[in-house]
Chain A
């Protein structure tokens, strides 16, 4: 098992005819993901290297059996594409696009909630279940199949940690990039819940960063609800207040959203926090082997 995506994932990519969308969509297919369709309005009937293109996501659900949508549409139109996906009948929407306005994401977030559709991202690297399926831009070669679940706000930092786990001989059930925007579809809490219920996950690594209070809320939630061990890493101890550190959501406002506060909140609930990505990976490996 794994979470969110697996061998039964039937992927439709909005933006498959674009440069980025085709590059990554076809990479996902080469990895073994069932890529069943692409969507570009007005290009229905065409194909991208054998994958049929439809005008709407709904058609791809009805005709190609798509159950998971990936959004690779420019920021200006991305929220509309996510909304279309939510209404199409797929059960999971993974939005890679960076730079979607927050005011667009607010109603979209609530729409997904209301319809019971799982939204991952936006501004995320996607989801990888090693050996099963890859949806997004995560480079699969740095991750082996194994029993550690990873949930992260950051892409490259996840590759760093995944690679250290791999070098230590451990692998992952699923890696979930939840994204670095202020408003994202699924938070740490949502993904922790899925990992806790997944029989193939024994330990969870959570990678956070400055901004917002998702890590603090996760700390409370872990103490109350999660039975598996969680190891954390937080980036941004040296970040100054008021400055956006790359990700739209990575900003300390006044005195809230600091890395220190997040670390303290997690440690207060018994979650070990690594000082560096390397140390976090080491703690994860040690903890896993002691289980």
Chain B
């Protein structure tokens, strides 16, 4: 689960990390009112789940009420495209915060290093730019240090990282304590990524966290009810939102072939073979062990709510899941929602013969059975058209 900048900063503030004072606003008037209370200059910042907002024009510094009004109006409703072409993300919300006078910009992050099975701290005195750009332009300027999984990060180790990154003397102590706290936040809040870019020194010599990119482990939300209740980034895909409500694992893609598979790996593989057969998958949907009619009705409703979809593929390999139950679910769901789109079904594994007999008996006109995964992929591509 990714947090918006302001949600991340609120999290930082709860752990005593220095962030600018700010107010959340979703209208121009609210943004102007917030600016007046904060006092000028203010930073008017688009709240979307992607970095590079500054370059995209989603962050402006207003020095008076007229500018605050003008910039808030420009930014709300704008589309932001990420540095790697992600999005576009429409801006629905702003974070208005006290403007800082920036003396220097650093980069700091704590990430989960999956290869090393440890948290890793990264620090650079070259902030404000993309971390990949820092690593490319001057690899030595990006200091990386693993954290002992049992002991955490101590003040002494933090100071060594700071020294190695050649952070200026005046800021060194403050930056070291920021690193120590960031590791504590990662551990306490189950964050698998915390990126602060830039971490600045202001005109008063104070170190301040000016940006926040935070990812929380979705499996740990039971420990963080306050995070679980945070509003979603408003620009959610409608099918993904609908699937989430129904407890389905669904990812939107931009094709026209609706897909349901059981098991994450098999489902990913199904997308791949459909693409190899020349088709364009509309989604990833892992039915898991859900073979019951209600689960299949839910899945079909989500898939067909996408107007792009012209044909559907069910790829089921029954292990614990029994194919006869799946077949019953498919028949009931097809009838209940009056599905007219072509539906290609590949049903293999436990009780597949019984399942196929049930499907044949039901005599659904739009249902096509294929014996193999590759055959099913070819068939659905043929039926989907372009």
Q: A: which residues have CB within 8 A of B?
A: 75-76, 99-104, 106-107, 109-110, 137-139, 141-142, 152-160, 163, 180, 182-183, 207, 209-214, 217, 233, 235-250, 254-255, 259, 275-278
Binds A, one of B137-145, B214-222, B296-304: B214-222
Residues of chain A within 8 A (CB-CB) of B156 are none
- Known A237-B272, A238-B275, A276-B272; judge A102-B190 contact (CB<8 A): yes
B349 touches A102 (CB 8 A): no
Q: Can you report 27 A-B residue pairs in the complex whose CB atoms are below 8 A from each other?
A: A76-B222, A101-B220, A106-B149, A107-B149, A137-B320, A138-B319, A139-B319, A141-B350, A154-B265, A155-B265, A156-B265, A156-B266, A157-B263, A158-B265, A159-B317, A163-B317, A209-B268, A212-B114, A213-B114, A214-B114, A237-B272, A238-B253, A238-B268, A242-B86, A246-B265, A246-B268, A278-B374
A245 touches B284 (CB 8 A): yes
Residues of chain B within 8 A (CB-CB) of A100 are 219
Residues of chain B within 8 A (CB-CB) of A104 are 220
Residue from A183, A209, A211, A238 having most chain B Cβ neighbours under 10 A: A238
A235 touches B269 (CB 8 A): yes
Which B199-234 residues have a C-beta within 8 angstroms of A?
217-220, 222-223
Interface membership of B373, Cβ < 8 A: yes
Residues of chain A within 8 A (CB-CB) of B348 are 160, 163
Residues of chain B within 8 A (CB-CB) of A249 are 114
A182 touches B114 (CB 8 A): yes
A236 touches B272 (CB 8 A): yes
Give Cα distance in the complex from A115 to B115, angstroms: 20
A238 touches B114 (CB 8 A): no
- Contact residues of B: prevailing secondary structure: mixed
Give Cα distance in the complex from A211 to B192, angstroms: 14
Closest to B254 in A: A240
Residues of chain B within 8 A (CB-CB) of A277 are 269, 373
A254 touches B84 (CB 8 A): yes
Interface membership of B105, Cβ < 8 A: no
Residues of chain A within 8 A (CB-CB) of B272 are 235-238, 259, 276
B281 touches A238 (CB 8 A): yes
Residue from A103, A156, A249 having most chain B Cβ neighbours under 10 A: A156
Interface membership of B150, Cβ < 8 A: yes
A157 touches B269 (CB 8 A): yes
Total B residues in contact with A, Cβ cutoff 8 Å:
51
Q: Of B117, B186, B223, B266, which is within 8 A of A110 by CB?
A: B117
A210 touches B268 (CB 8 A): yes
Interface membership of B365, Cβ < 8 A: no
Residues of chain B within 8 A (CB-CB) of A212 are 114-115
A278 touches B114 (CB 8 A): no
Interface membership of B251, Cβ < 8 A: yes
Closest to A137 in B: B320
Closest to A278 in B: B374
B190 touches A101 (CB 8 A): yes
- Known A99-B219, A109-B117, A276-B374; judge A236-B251 contact (CB<8 A): no
B264 touches A180 (CB 8 A): yes
Residues of chain A within 8 A (CB-CB) of B38 are none
A155 touches B275 (CB 8 A): no
Which B317-337 residues have a C-beta within 8 angstroms of A?
317, 319-320
Shortest CB-to-CB span from B169 to chain A, Å, is 33
- Contact residues of A: prevailing secondary structure: loop
A103 touches B117 (CB 8 A): no
A248 touches B222 (CB 8 A): no
Give Cα distance in the complex from A109 to B113, angstroms: 13
Closest to A141 in B: B350
Interface membership of B119, Cβ < 8 A: yes
A243 touches B317 (CB 8 A): no
A180 touches B372 (CB 8 A): no
Give Cα distance in the complex from A83 to B186, angstroms: 22
Shortest CB-to-CB span from B289 to chain A, Å, is 10
B112 touches A102 (CB 8 A): yes
A239 touches B284 (CB 8 A): yes
A183 touches B114 (CB 8 A): yes
A75 touches B219 (CB 8 A): yes
Contact code string B87-120 (vs A, CB < 8 Å = 1, else 0): 0000000000000000000000000101101110
Shortest CB-to-CB span from A117 to chain B, Å, is 15
B319 touches A246 (CB 8 A): no
Closest to A109 in B: B117
Residues of chain A within 8 A (CB-CB) of B372 are 278
B219 touches A248 (CB 8 A): yes
- Known A106-B117, A245-B284, A254-B132; judge A154-B266 contact (CB<8 A): yes
B117 touches A183 (CB 8 A): yes
Residues of chain A within 8 A (CB-CB) of B347 are none
Closest to A180 in B: B264
Contact code string B226-264 (vs A, CB < 8 Å = 1, else 0): 000000000000000000000001010100000001111
Residues of chain B within 8 A (CB-CB) of A275 are 276
Residues of chain A within 8 A (CB-CB) of B269 are 157, 160, 233, 235, 276-277
Closest to A113 in B: B117
Interface membership of B68, Cβ < 8 A: no
Interface membership of B271, Cβ < 8 A: yes
Shortest CB-to-CB span from A289 to chain B, Å, is 22
Give Cα distance in the complex from A104 to B217, angstroms: 11
Residue from A139, A180, A233 having most chain B Cβ neighbours under 10 A: A139
Q: Of B114, B223, B274, B317, which is within 8 A of A160 by CB?
A: B317
- Known A99-B219, A139-B350, A238-B272; judge A156-B263 contact (CB<8 A): yes
B190 touches A103 (CB 8 A): yes
Residues of chain B within 8 A (CB-CB) of A157 are 263, 265-266, 269
Closest to A114 in B: B150
Q: Of A99, A110, A155, A214, which is within 8 A of B149 by CB?
A: A110
Closest to B272 in A: A237
Residue from A103, A104, A110, A244 having most chain B Cβ neighbours under 10 A: A103
A246 touches B284 (CB 8 A): yes
Residues of chain A within 8 A (CB-CB) of B115 are 212-214, 217
